[in-house]
A and B are shown apart, each in its own frame.
Chain A
Amino acid sequence: MTAVAPSRSAAAPASPVTGSVAGRPRRHGVNRRGPWLAIVYWVTIAITLVPIVYMIVYSFNDAPTNRLSFAWNGFTTYWYANLVNVSGLGAAFVTSVVVAFLAAIISVAIGLPLALALERYRFPGRGVVNTVVFADIAAPSIVVGSASLSFFLSVGLGTGFLTVLITHVAFDVAYVVVVLRARIAGTSRALEEAAGDLGATPFQAFRLVTLPLLAPGMLAAGLLALAMSIDDYVITSFVAGPAVTFPLFVYGAAKAGMPPQVLCFGTLVFAVGLLVALLNGALNRRLARTRG
């Protein structure tokens, strides 16, 4: 906080509006800041971290039984060494990862053209499609889940892996469209038009110019879809049938007594996610520096 303060107060007089009234004491009210906002922020972050710290610490707890215990019995890596020793846990995790990757890829493939249509064209029915995409994000999971199950029951499609994948794509598509629309809106059409002027067919222009330009956006949209899918419990609980995903397994375990390996999986996923986030941040920073 203190490190930030000088740079801002130094920058303020440079702004054209305040520059003319630099002598007025009242103006300092704008930049004077109590510590309250910083305190609220850091307390909130501290509370956010509580369950994460709990998860990591107790994944190393030497619990006497194969059930999670919050009495500390000493440090062990036993649960990590016996990660897949719990029947069903490893399979559930694999199922979740497979569903998430497939759902992410399919929803980007479906969502990209839809996002292009919504962002770049005015056509009859556009408003309706917009509303459907919005409703898909806004609708409560419990309603989407129960409605999807009603639908699968009505058409006689047995629930299982396929229905989980279908439903995950259905909610992923909306997030993908929103992310990609924002990226498309920020991408100039000039390059595409230049490609057209140089004799490229619309398809060539799309493949050789638009697609590479949107690749980072597609990756971001895909990662969001992946994250939404891999963590979904409520909708999946309706349409899974005999299929078991990681959140379904954890929920069942949470009610019946949780094997410590669940926390190990959680910790490993957290570590990988953190690594991806940090690498992404470092990459963006480097890109910004080379461009700036």
Chain B
Amino acid sequence: MSAIGVAPGLGPGGPGGSAGPAPVRRGRRRSTPFFLALVGTAYLCVFFVIPLVSGLIVSLMTGNPDDGYTFTWNFGIYGSLFVDPQVPYLTFLLRSLWYGAAATIACIVVGYPVAYFIAFRVSPRWKNPLLMLVFISFLVSFIIRTDMWAFVLASQGPVVTFLQGVGLAGKDFHILGTGGAVIFGDAYNDLAFMVLPIYAALERIDPRLGEAANDLYAGKFRAFWHTTLPLSRSGIFAGVLLVFIDSVGDPVNSALLGGTNTYTIGQAIQDAYSGNQQYNVAAALSTVLMVVLGIILFIYARVSGTDDLEDLV
């Protein structure tokens, strides 16, 4: 509004040039965010929100690949998939949740010290390069790097051969095809998603707080436990969210690094769609997966005390 004083001669053309257009301008301002948000919101509604709902609708259809599917409010499918089913989907789901939880914990155990090291133990000019190194695997296609691990962890590969060579593993010992290999692959592929938010949270902490804790005779461990760790909780929360969701649903690591006993819900959904064309089964499974993940993460958010999800975005 200072324009009034500076440029009185601008007339109606200039915003706020005279007293008259002011209400018009304010009116236009109120509609500005709607115009700005319109296209993006519409796109996300049509191609993200509606598909999620349509997944639910497809799950309630009955039919078969040859005759097509019709909508029949078939809520029974949810019972038939999990109660006394022909295929043990509940086992796949629980197994996926276990893999996801184990990979998430592995990512915290490794990712926290890595983030802490970059945030507090190196000079500022090295922080970005060291952080980039954590992300270097992203320059290699996800499928290629996972498949390279399949070769590294194979029974003729260097890891198993070495362990057998030094006598730490027996002849029948193998890594590829086990749940451990799948968890390792999940954790490997998602580690950076844990390191980055924890690093961002640690960077915001004033290092003098730790020093103050020490001055108040807190030991190294107590200073960490009572100042640094609580202050980095939002970072851990964001990391857990990203890693857990991604690894529970992932079909690739279990397919390339696992075996017959590591079949996950992600693979089941993919096979139901592309292999058997049981669209209703696949849609029901993915709806269940989303609801289960939602419930687990809601409880986790409540327990950890982070309810402002908007902070994370």
Mark A47-68 against chain B: 1 for CB-CB distance below 8 A, else 0: 1111110110000000000000
**B residues in contact with A141, CB < 8 Å:** 246, 249-250
| Residue of A whose beta carbon sits closest to that of B59 | A150
A146 near B269 with CB under 8 A, answer yes
Within 8 A of B (CB), among A31-77: 33, 36-38, 40-41, 44-45, 47-52, 54-55, 70
- Chain A at the B interface: mostly helix, strand, loop or mixed? helix
Q: How many A residues, CB 8 Å from partner?
A: 109
Taken together as a complex, chains A and B put the C-alpha atoms of A187 and B117 apart, in Å, by 30
Question: Does A153 contact B279, Cβ atoms closer than 8 Å?
Answer: yes
Per-position 1/0 for A140-158, Cβ under 8 A of B: 1111101111110110000
A122's nearest neighbour on chain B, judged by CB, is B33
Size class of B's contact patch?
A: 35 or more
Closest partner residue, chain A, to B154 (CB atom)? A70
- Best-buried of B37, B129, B188, B215 by chain A (most CB within 10 Å): B37
Q: Give the interface segment out of B47-55, B73-81, B86-94.
A: B47-55
Interface residues, chain B, CB within 8 Å of chain A?
2-3, 6-7, 10, 13-16, 30, 32-41, 43-45, 47-52, 54-55, 57-58, 110, 113-114, 116-118, 121-123, 126, 128-130, 132-134, 136-152, 154, 156-157, 188, 191, 207-208, 210-212, 214-215, 217, 219-220, 223, 241-242, 245-246, 248-252, 255-256, 265-266, 269-270, 273-274, 279, 282-283, 286-287, 289-290, 293, 309-310, 312-313
A129-B41, A144-B52, A171-B48 known, 6 other contacts, Cβ within 8 Å:
A33-B121, A123-B34, A142-B286, A150-B55, A274-B136, A274-B139
Q: Which residues from chain A sit less than 8 Å from chain B, CB to CB?
A: 1, 4, 7-8, 12, 15-18, 21, 24, 26-27, 29-30, 33, 36-38, 40-41, 44-45, 47-52, 54-55, 70, 110-111, 113-114, 116-118, 120-123, 125-127, 129-144, 146-151, 153-154, 166-167, 169-171, 173-174, 177-178, 181, 196-199, 201-202, 227, 231, 233-234, 237-238, 246-247, 250-251, 254-255, 258, 262-263, 266, 269-270, 273-274, 277, 281, 284
